[in-house]
Amino acid sequence: MQPNEYVLLLGADQYLRERAFSGAKQAVDLPVWAAAEDAVRRLNRTFDHMLSADPKDSESLLGAIRAHSARGWHPRVVVPLNDWTVDSANTVNRVLGLGGLDATAVTNARNKHVMKQALLAAGVPTPLSRLVESEQELLDAVEAVGLPVVIKPYDFGGSGGVVLATTREEAVAGLAESKGVIAQYRSSFNIVGDKYLVEQFIDSDDEASVEVLCGAGRAQVLAVTEKYLSPRPWFAEVAHLVPSHRTGDPAVTGLAERACTALGIDRGLAHVEIKFAADGSPWVIEVAARPGGDGIMDQVERAYSLNPYRLHIGSYLGHGLLDVAAGAVPTRTSAIAFLKASPGRIQDVLDGKPLPPEVRSINISAKRGDLSHAAKNWSTREGLVELEWDELFGEKTQLPVIVAKELSDQIFVTGGAAVDE
């Protein structure tokens, strides 16, 4: 009897990751399953079935998978969609002999300190850094790296706890702030969160992220996304636009591909973040062994008429798709920008006015009575807007940020004392 097989997606039952299901269906004609800790209370009907298991925890997943194996259902492969499932998905793949990333590649992609050593060893430009835990180690690192520095947790994401410090005093305060962010999120994201990187600061607001399809010893860029950041000293992502005007620039694509092979990522899409110094030189800030988050994949799909999850999941299934990535051509521009109320108590949310024609979707998450803080990371957003234009921009456009600001000012009425420390 043929075994009943399924593809297990981890992190796909998440807002802005919905298109992963469609990508999986395009990649293979199999049932597509997801996992949630309490699949009875959190049943997502999009999926063909849901395992009751913690998607971040390989033991929990193996228990649920084995219970279904006893009933004749076997996973073909387990595919991670976010940082918190890269380790668990690939541990399950290895234990069950399903392929997957090797443990070194997972560590290279999840521990920013180890990542930087691997990048430097391969000659990939990345800011110098030191790993610290205590205040004294921090001050020694500031001395060694030189001010200004960026302080960041070594295994978190979403720009949480990433802070710029221009003085020793700001560095001490920055480490305390970063530790506070980790204390708040450590357990829900299942991270260790015991150490912090102190990094040389690349002083520029020019930044891109690159989606790279990885293969054994090879990599191929699919898309380059232009990134827009909040005012300093934080680095919240406020918008992403696809395709970036840098698309096709070999200095960018070649570097992104080298970064992936340096880390040993041999399957799936990787998300490479590159910052451009004042002289234009590119520096790899980090690499994630999963597709970009924040709805970037949906912008890639609209700009290229190609669902990138199909490539990510197909690659985990062993399909050779580098040529498909190489042949993808953008025909329009698509962007996502985050809504931001001015800091203070939100007194009213005025939705329902006519929207500009380029608006493809809008989602307001804040309610009357909520407190709005200055943009620090993903948690300080009040909603999002997606935009679409028929043209391709030849240079960096500020349109996503401008439209999001106009809409935010129109929608959110904030009053009372500013609450930002």
Residues that bind ligand ATP (CB under 6 A): 127, 150, 152, 156-160, 162, 199-202, 207, 229, 235, 237, 273, 275, 285-286
Of the ranges 6-14, 177-185, 283-291, 341-349, which one interacts with Mg ion (CB under 5 A)? 283-291
CB 84 to ligand ATP: min, Å? 11
* Residue nearest ligand ATP, Cβ-based: 235
Nearer to Mg ion, 92 or 223 (CB): 223
For 80, residues 6+ apart whose C-beta sits below 8 A from its C-beta are 10, 11, 86, 88, 89, 90, 268, 289, 290
Could you tell me the smallest distance in angstroms from the CB atom of residue 27 to Mg ion? Answer: 26
Q: How far is the CB of 244 from Mg ion (least distance, A)?
A: 16
Q: Where are the alpha helices (DSSP H) in 263-307?
A: 296-304
Which distant-in-sequence residues (6+ apart) come within 8 Å of 41 by Cβ? none
Do the beta carbons of residue 345 and residue 371 sit within 8 Å? yes
314 binds, among Mg ion, ligand ATP, none (CB under 5 to 8 A by kind): none
Q: Quick one: which H or E segment has residue 314?
A: helix 308-316
What SS3 state is found at 86?
helix
> Alpha helices of 100-167 — where are they, by DSSP H?
103-110, 112-121, 135-145
The footprint of Mg ion on residues 253-282 (CB under 5 A) is: 273
What one-character DSSP code corresponds to residue 323? H
Choose among ligand ATP, Mg ion, none what residue 127 binds, the Cβ cut-off being 5 to 8 Å by kind.
ligand ATP
Binding to Mg ion (CB under 5 A): which residues in 284-343? 286
State which residue, 75 or 293, has the beta carbon closest to ligand ATP: 293
Tell me the closest approach of the beta carbon of residue 6 to ligand ATP, in angstroms.
29
Smallest distance, Å, CB 210 to Mg ion?
A: 12
For ligand ATP, which is the closer residue by CB, 4 or 281? 281
Considering the complex, what minimum distance in angstroms separates the CB of residue 183 from ligand ATP? 16
156 versus 189: smaller Cβ distance to ligand ATP = 156
CA distance 96 to 75: 9
Phi (first) and psi of residue 161, to 5 degrees? 75, 15
Number of other residues whose CB lies within 10 A of the CB of residue 312: 30
Contact set with Mg ion (CB under 5 A): 273, 286
